[in-house]
Chain A
Amino acid sequence: QVQLVESGGGVVQPGRSLRLSCVASGYNFGSYAVHWVRQGPGKGLEWVTIIWYDGSNKYYTDSVKGRFTISRDNSKNTVYLQMNFLRAEDTAVYYCARGASTAASTLDYWGQGTLVTVSS
């Protein structure tokens, strides 16, 4: 069965860095895009970034451009989210999700999420 498992969350001070990982299993990892979506405490879902199946294209929401970097290692079935210069407003549960259907527009499988807390 398809599974995505996030890790790497924790408490970090403003301005510091954190790297999240998303390990996938149960499908041909190298054939699908992967998204990161976050959800602040008591808030709605916010799309963060996408990486294409082969890593050739990456897109980011405006608020994280220049601070976050998505990458993938298809030999390890893993997607990474490097988060630099973290701000309090980045505090959220971060989910990775498989992008399926045309234009990777359907998030058909999600991980359980990993909590990132940015606080001094």
Chain B
Amino acid sequence: QSALTQPRSVSGSPGQSVTISCTGTSSDVGGYNYVSWYQQHPGKAPKVMIHDVSKRPSGVPDRFSGSKSGNTASLTITGLQAEDEADYYCCAGSYTLIFGGGTKLTVL
């Protein structure tokens, strides 16, 4: 099974908004409402930012939001801050999971 498709990189200035897309198939992204997003800073373990398409764990700023349409999920970050600069991975599936290739977010 091929990885979910994400843009390699996105960028934005502080205060701006960015959206990261994640495209899969009807067997993964489109088949379940089990899409999650992970933030990973260099040398650190990933951290869940969004789960079940649009649910935000406690402690995650409400600047982070998720959505899905058909086979494509999206992560939107509003009011960009310097600490948001990281790699972001989408993930989908029921028990067996598949990750996206990752997107490097640069805050200019």
Is chain B found bound to chain A in the same assembly? Answer: yes
Interface residues of A (CB under 8 A from B): 33, 35, 37, 44-47, 50, 57, 59, 61-62, 95, 99-108, 110-113
Q: On chain B, which size bracket covers the interface? A: 20 to 34
Interface residues of B (CB under 8 A from A): 1, 3, 32, 34, 36, 38, 40, 45-48, 51-52, 57, 87, 89, 91-102
Whether the pair A103, B48 counts as a contact (CB closer than 8 A) is no
Binding site secondary structure of chain A: strand
Residues of chain A within 8 A (CB-CB) of B52 are: 101-102, 105-106
Residues of chain A within 8 A (CB-CB) of B97 are: 35, 47, 50, 105, 107
Closest to A49 in B: B96
Residues of chain B within 8 A (CB-CB) of A102 are: 34, 52
Residues of chain A within 8 A (CB-CB) of B40 are: 45
Known: A101-B52, A108-B48. A45 touches B102 (CB 8 A): yes
Residues of chain B within 8 A (CB-CB) of A103 are: 32, 34, 93-95
Known: A95-B46, A110-B45. A105 touches B99 (CB 8 A): no
Whether the pair B51, A44 counts as a contact (CB closer than 8 A) is no
Whether the pair A44, B99 counts as a contact (CB closer than 8 A) is yes
Whether the pair B102, A107 counts as a contact (CB closer than 8 A) is no
Known: A45-B99, A101-B51. A111 touches B45 (CB 8 A): yes
By CB atoms of chain A within 10 A, which of B1, B36, B45, B92 has the most? Answer: B45
